[in-house]
Structure 1
Amino acid sequence: MKRTLLSMAIIFGTCAFAQEKKPDTAKTKNIEGITITKQVFKKQSDRFVYDVAASPVAKGNTTFDLLKQTPLLSSTDDKTLKIAGKNNALIYINGRKTNMDAESLVQFLKNTPAENIQKIEVITIPGSEYQVESSDGIINIILKKKMSDGLNGNMRFSNTQSKYNASQTSFSANYRKDKLGISANLNGGENIQAQRYTLRNGTVNTSNESTGDIDDPNKNIGGYLNIDYQLNDKSNLALSWNTWANKSYNSTVNLFNTIVTNGKTRYTWSKNKEDARSYNNSLNLNYELKTDSLGSKLNVNAAYLNYKRFQFTDNRTYKSNINGDVLDMSSQVFQDLPQIINNFSGMVDYIQKFKNDLTVSVGGNYNRTKTDNDSKNITYSFDPSKAPDSRPNHFIYDENIYGFYVTAEKKFSDKFSGKIGARYEITNSLGTSDNAPTDALKRIERNYNNILPYASFNYAINDKNNISYSFSSRMRRPSFWEINPVKNILTDDNYTQNNPFVKASSTYNQELTYMYKNSYFLILNHSYFKDAITQVPLQGYPESPNGDLGKNPVLRYIRTNFGDKQEMSAMVGVQRSFFKQYWTTNFNIGVQHNINNGSLDTDPTTGDRFKNKDGKYITYTNMVRSTSLLIQTNNTIRLDKKKTWFFGVNYFFVDKQQIELGLLKSLMSLDLSIKKVWNEWTFAVNANDILNTNIVKIEDFQENGNYNYIHQNRYNRNVMVSLTYNFGNQKVKKVRDIEGASDSIKSRTR
């Protein structure tokens, strides 16, 4: 259910506007033991640095709340973080990618006190040493380095009221004794993800409208265990285990369909039920060796990842009338869609530092992944003349990736520094299917190599002015679920179709940044996507390669490589604190220009082409340009001198813009919060999207007469109450976080 809806509303990943947040200047002085330094937000080499320890925002916040209030970062759904103009944000801790899956990571961030953080680094265009894809950026969280031994932790409870009620609890503990450090977390909760849909498509004479509700209950439990041991003064050994389990039983889709064909109107109900559960376990072993006093070091990682998802759906279609009465069942489709992913990964990095401010890094990685999809699809028609249609398909996908990189970073003077590098990646993959509908699907083999260059330069004109430029080339490989050739049914005539023929796309990113007084910034960005992976609608009467023509029009949302596109943006921002830091504000305004250039006329998995009522072939095209205004501001107001009461006001607005599925109408959200800090307790109330304006609406009109409309209400308006208690010795040194060798694979399981 989740993947169907995510792929139907793919645009959530495309409107990555700048919901950024705070940092600034203030005279250095001590207030209740907290030191406020002058430079809170600044540009350093290839990254932006937000000095959290010097900001009044951190007090009483969670790490996730703090990230949402960090310049250049945004979250529109309170689950994912994005960097302005980027499709995704990867989380690193102390320079290493976090070794946990996405849902566990969110809970970790929401239950880690922001007081433990020294600074946050935002890397908009990562260097060659980072394993990232497409236009992904990096958020690097630097924890405070406290030296005392002891135990500390926190307990947190939150309750959220939207259409349904949701609750979440978490317990975290950190222990350090001499050379041994242990960190653990256990969290769980339950919620019902609710959505209200209206889907409308067709032509003037033929149309299909589906309206109704989707409810997805979830029960989650997860956690992690990290053990770090210092072998001697130069070497460390660390073991990390992360686990997450999700149970989503009795997810339901209830859509009322109005179908107009050849002047005749008929009504049906689509009533789907899904039971799904998933498990994600990963184990990572890390060894680090410091080779000299300048900071040179060797890092070795080995990891194993096991991901399992079991999904069973019962899709039923009932006859109905204009009054919406549920009558006889007309068809039933059972789908059994299991997926098992096993991955072994290895990674070696060596960093050599020289006395002349030169740093050279070399390394390599290896990933071996096997994805097993043993799906079954049985269709029952209640027409006595039609026999059940059973279509099992066992699709196995094997992939091997070899990667090598080298970078050189040089500080030429106090003002000028530069960094160049390149990655060389080799990908060998093989997909096999034992019961594919076409011969082309039975064996899909791909072997390709890529050289991915990188360069960045930073020039500090003087103490007040800084300018930098970065260029990067990356690949975007399809997620494992995207290439599993199954369809996810929404209604009889409306479903999403995965595509094993999807190939990796290429992305070229450029960025020019200017900063003034570490408070004002201008960012110019250009991204070019070649063979962009996305989802587009094909609709009409399907004609198979043998000439058979469907009796009814259908709508297929097909995953494919949809031509090329460009994204250009210009953003101006200011981050300041006023009135002795009683008011901290971050305001950004920008313009984004999208150039789309894609077309599709054939379903790549079946070879079907689509005709209109007059028998003419139909091509879906999107060659539209659009320019959008982006506005975002985040404000924290301290209400008392003792820093115990805080009031927050956050707002964003995204103007309408052209995306792959059509014209995305404007989005807007106003969030308010109040927070009270009392000794080790923090009580907070957040009211999100209080105007109920963060609702997705997409319209698309084709020259051939086809139209497509999507209205999706995700019930973003909610009120959340949270209570957090911190206990123990707060001077505990955190366990060293390690980048898992399989982290680049994990992002592709979702």
Structure 2
Amino acid sequence: MKLLTSLLALLFSAFLIAQTDVTATGKVLEQGTNYPLEYATVSFIDATGKTVTGGITDVDGNFSIDIPSGTYTVKYEFISYKSIQKPNLQIQQATTLPTVYLSLDSESLDEVVVRAETTEVQIRLDKKVYNIGKDLTTSGATVSDALGNVPSVTVDVDGAISLRGNENVRILINGKPSAIAGFGSTDALRQLPADAIERVEVITSPSARYDAEGTAGILNIILRKEKTLGLNGSVQANLGVPLSSGLTGNINLRTDKFNIFNTTGVRYNKSPGNAYFETRYLTANASNPLVTEDREYDRLNRGFNTNLGIEYYLTDKSSITASGFLRLGDDEDVTTNLTKEFDAANVLAIERSRIETETEEDTSLQFSLNYVNNFDTNGHKLTIDLQAEDDAETETSFIDEFNTFPTNELLPAEFITQIEDQNEYLVQADYVRPIGENAQFEAGYRGNFEKTVTDYLLTEQLTPGGAFVRNDSLSNVFTYEENVNALYTQYGNKFGKFSFLLGLRLEDTQLKGEVTGEDITSNDDFNVNFDNSYTGLFPTVNVVYELGERENVTLGYNRRINRPRGFFINPFPSRSSEANVFQGNPSLRPAFANAFDLGYLKRWSKLTLTTSVYYQRETDAFERVSEDTGEVTPNGVPIIRTIPFNLATNERYGFEAGVLYNPAKWLRLNGSFNFFGFKTVGIFNDVDYGTENTSWFARGSSKVTLPYKIDWQTTAFYRGPRINAQAETEGMLSVNLAFSKDIMSDNATIGFNVSDLLNSRKRNTTTITPSFESESEFQWRERQFNLSFTYRFNQKKERQRGGRGDGDFDGDDGDFGD
């Protein structure tokens, strides 16, 4: 009996041992290039041919799968690549399998091309990554145009970029602030060709490694990199109507020891626009209560930009990259403003023409130095970045004004000169240390030091045709400094299907402003001289739970800051209209926000669905309000001033969903929807500007392959109506159309696109206040036709490999042109 009991116990123990789960790890790479293949499928098949379990590789091509101990055939698969099977592998304990290399399946090359021409989405612990693919509507377009096709992102008619309807978004290039994006301005994004983009990272719940700047989140634009050995490059030329022309070339020379890269572009564009304003004054000081302004914009933009750099491989694991970026701009804008004043009986009393000729010369020069040391192949590395930039801008405006009714009369003219110099320095160090197979520790420092000096000189005629006299109440020099020092640390780990990333960032901000001038320092409206310091902690929490191999749920929390910058803090008023001016507010304080984000991702064979719900509460949020100053122009028109101020609170909530669907090789569909609401509470100058409203926007894109391999893409965008503290903006529809065909053995591409096919991209706004009511229509750029030609030499047609070089805990990725 004892023998039988012992035998049964032995057999039961053996059964338990046989059923004990062990961990099998490994890596899947592309044959010949050693690129990691993300989302490659790894299956474990038993002796009966049954698939016991399986999994997919991560961004670095790694997999870690728990399986019952036993003998298996391991099958490796990746779309458009030849599958590989490794039979009779005995896995009795934790095992690291040999690295597997998959090669392209020549019979599936057409499918590879299809994948390259679609937009793919990937979920990370702290962001969504959109691989742009071959978006036809951005052929010959700019980076700013391309951003308008990214889910969650909108680009307004005047170029303002919003994330989930919030303009407080931080723009980074390759993970760092850059002259390419502009410090505090996005104008430079209109000069960089859209083809330069490899992918866009939409970071709505930024981890601690990123700046805390931007309450809406971060858009990180990753530029293309060429990894092919030898000499290669491409040239793109485009010509459009209204006149839009550009030529961009990039070249790469890569050896085993170094990589030299250059991207150079020139542009010459005319960009007509228009606006219409109708204002009815309700106060007694208005001699003519109804005033209309019909405005025409005639812009001529000339620009040149070049980026030259070299990456030198010190060892197999370390490299240093030095690069320089130069941007030159020479623009001339003519704004014609026809003003009509009507008396109380709506009879025309005065008609006036105001012509502003503005010239602007810009020079941006940036030097970057990047050092990377990969201590091993598991992600243990140190990165150090140094960056210096100098921006110089000279802007002159001559404003000529004369009455045309009831009599022809020349009025006093104005001449404005504004010289702006900006210096910015960046020092950054990031250290990443993997701990075991799934954990990772990270720490770093970033310092941004910025100084801007704006010299504003307004001279005006006291009598028509008389001498120009300096206006001492407005002419002055404004010096603004912003210094930010930051330390951060974060830790991430993965337990089975559960991953998390916890971080904490400490930022110390110093904002200093000084205005020198004869009269403006006594201005009671503003504290024009200030020196403020803010120190804050910014925690971040990001969690991912894998419901299945192609399904997960994410949860994120972060605290953010929005610092007043640019024209929001500059006290110099705009002068395009003497009756409607915008003036910055040097007294603006930074806004702080706490944000939560819950996301869901599900992938099927031909369909990808992403959804999110989010909530944000912001204190001291910025709001623009318009008010009657109580002053009038020399012609008796009340002066309306628009000024930003700090609201008490601003709460935002919303839901978004995106769908990528490829039902057939010849048809690709892409759609997204975002619904959001907000509630603001705040009082300014004893006026309550609190409001509550909802809005939404949606976009859809279809891409069809026609006979003779001609691609046809249609993209539509609709932004629903929205309301802020004073203004109500109508909905807006925009449709883009594009065609493309590869020629010359696929080494060249010719494309044709129409931007704003219906010429409907116009912003219509109604503003109601106790002292005036106004309606306006604004169109930044009219419908445009564009023809482009791209030629590639020694370059394979781009294939998406799923966002390489960017792990679950890694966010910054390389330098321009690398």
Q: Verify: 1:595 aligned to 2:679, yes or no.
A: yes
Bigger RCO of structures 1 and 2 (CA < 8 A, at least 6 apart): 1
1:420: how far off? 1.4
Residue matched to 2:445: 364
Residue matched to 1:571: 656
Residue matched to 1:747: none
Cα distance in 1 for residues equivalent to 2:466 and 2:782: 47
The partner residue of 2:274 within 159, 183, 196 is: 196
The partner residue of 1:713 within 769, 776, 779 is: 779
Q: Verify: 1:159 aligned to 2:248, yes or no.
A: no
Cα distance in 1 for residues equivalent to 2:395 and 2:515: 19
Residue matched to 2:564: 478
CA contact (8 A) 2:137 2:737 kept: no
Q: 1:230 to 1:508 in 2, by over 3 A?
A: same
3-state DSSP of counterpart to 1:335: strand
3-state DSSP of counterpart to 1:554: strand
Cα distance in 2 for residues equivalent to 1:732 and 1:210: 49
Q: Deviations over 1:585-623 (max 9, x none)?
A: 11223422132334433xxxxxxxxxxxxxxxxx66532
Q: Verify: 1:685 aligned to 2:767, yes or no.
A: no
Cα distance in 1 for residues equivalent to 2:428 and 2:555: 29
The partner residue of 2:255 within 177, 196, 199 is: 177
Q: Verify: 1:129 aligned to 2:209, yes or no.
A: yes
Residue matched to 2:764: 697
For 1:56-455, list aligned pairs within 5 A.
70-73=150-153, 75=155, 83-87=163-167, 88=169, 90-93=171-174, 100-102=180-182, 107-112=191-196, 117=198, 121-131=201-211, 132-139=213-220, 141=222, 146=227, 148-161=228-241, 164-204=242-282, 206-249=289-332, 251-260=333-342, 265-321=349-405, 327-382=408-463, 388=469, 390-391=471-472, 392-413=475-496, 415-435=497-517, 436-439=519-522, 441=527, 443-455=529-541
Q: Verify: 1:673 aligned to 2:750, yes or no.
A: no
Which residue identity does 2:706 align to in structure 1? L
Q: 1:454 to 1:81 in 2, by over 3 A?
A: same
Cα distance in 2 for residues equivalent to 1:682 and 1:674: 10
Cα distance in 2 for residues equivalent to 1:404 and 1:337: 37
3-state DSSP of counterpart to 1:715: coil
Which residue identity does 1:712 align to in structure 2? F
Q: 1:742 to 1:340 in 2, by over 3 A?
A: farther
Q: 1:169 to 1:448 in 2, by over 3 A?
A: same
Residue matched to 1:6: none
Which residue identity does 2:599 align to in structure 1? T
Which residue identity does 1:259 align to in structure 2? E
Q: Verify: 1:48 aligned to 2:125, yes or no.
A: no
Residue matched to 1:612: none
1:92: how far off? 4.3
Cα distance in 2 for residues equivalent to 1:82 and 1:731: 32
Cα distance in 2 for residues equivalent to 1:399 and 1:254: 36
Q: Deviations over 1:220-247 (max 9, x none)?
A: 1111112111111232111121111111
Which residue identity does 1:688 align to in structure 2? S
CA contact (8 A) 1:294 1:353 kept: yes
List runs of 5+ in structure 2 lacking aligned partners: 1-38, 42-76, 81-104, 284-288
- Farther-moved stretch of structure 1 (506-515 vs 35-44): 35-44
- Farther-moved stretch of structure 1 (71-80 vs 526-535): 71-80
Which residue identity does 2:697 align to in structure 1? L
User: Over aligned residue pairs, what C-alpha RMSD do you find?
Assistant: 3.8
Cα distance in 1 for residues equivalent to 2:191 and 2:634: 50
Residue matched to 1:513: 599
1:201: how far off? 2.4
3-state DSSP of counterpart to 1:682: strand
CA contact (8 A) 2:457 2:470 kept: no
1:174: how far off? 1.0
1:152: how far off? 0.8
Cα distance in 2 for residues equivalent to 1:246 and 1:385: 33
What fraction of aligned residue pairs are identical, expressed as a percent?
18
Residue matched to 2:646: 561
Q: 1:693 to 1:486 in 2, by over 3 A?
A: same
CA contact (8 A) 1:276 1:309 kept: yes
CA contact (8 A) 1:567 1:594 kept: yes
Which residue identity does 2:627 align to in structure 1? L
For 1:521-532, list aligned pairs within 5 A.
521-532=610-621
Q: 1:75 to 1:684 in 2, by over 3 A?
A: farther
CA contact (8 A) 2:148 2:155 kept: yes
Cα distance in 1 for residues equivalent to 2:642 and 2:813: 34
CA contact (8 A) 1:343 1:742 kept: no
Which residue identity does 2:759 align to in structure 1? N
- Farther-moved stretch of structure 1 (345-354 vs 119-128): 119-128
Cα distance in 2 for residues equivalent to 1:155 and 1:536: 46
Residue matched to 1:32: 109
The partner residue of 2:714 within 649, 655, 667 is: 649
Q: How many residues align?
A: 681
3-state DSSP of counterpart to 1:289: strand
3-state DSSP of counterpart to 2:576: strand
List runs of 5+ in structure 1 lacking aligned partners: 1-22, 602-618, 744-750
Q: 1:390 to 1:740 in 2, by over 3 A?
A: farther
CA contact (8 A) 2:171 2:181 kept: no
Cα distance in 1 for residues equivalent to 2:485 and 2:815: 13
1:43: how far off? 2.6
Cα distance in 2 for residues equivalent to 1:657 and 1:188: 38
- Farther-moved stretch of structure 1 (676-685 vs 583-592): 583-592
CA contact (8 A) 2:528 2:587 kept: no
Residue matched to 2:45: none
CA contact (8 A) 1:303 1:740 kept: no
Cα distance in 2 for residues equivalent to 1:243 and 1:446: 33
Q: Deviations over 1:175-226 (max 9, x none)?
A: 1012111110111111122221112223357233211212221111111112
Cα distance in 1 for residues equivalent to 2:188 and 2:513: 30
Q: Deviations over 1:52-102 (max 9, x none)?
A: 7xx786999689587665554555669776544453463544x66666345
The partner residue of 1:636 within 703, 712, 723 is: 703
1:51: how far off? 6.0
- Farther-moved stretch of structure 1 (254-263 vs 476-485): 254-263
Q: 1:76 to 1:208 in 2, by over 3 A?
A: closer
CA contact (8 A) 1:401 1:426 kept: yes
Q: 1:337 to 1:539 in 2, by over 3 A?
A: same
3-state DSSP of counterpart to 1:32: helix
Normalising by the residue count of structure 2, what TM-score does the alignment of the two structures yield? 0.76
CA contact (8 A) 1:228 1:736 kept: no
CA contact (8 A) 1:101 1:280 kept: no
CA contact (8 A) 1:99 1:240 kept: no
Residue matched to 2:58: none
Cα distance in 2 for residues equivalent to 1:78 and 1:269: 24
Q: Deviations over 1:257-304 (max 9, x none)?
A: 123577793332222111211111111111112234421111112211
Cα distance in 2 for residues equivalent to 1:434 and 1:97: 30
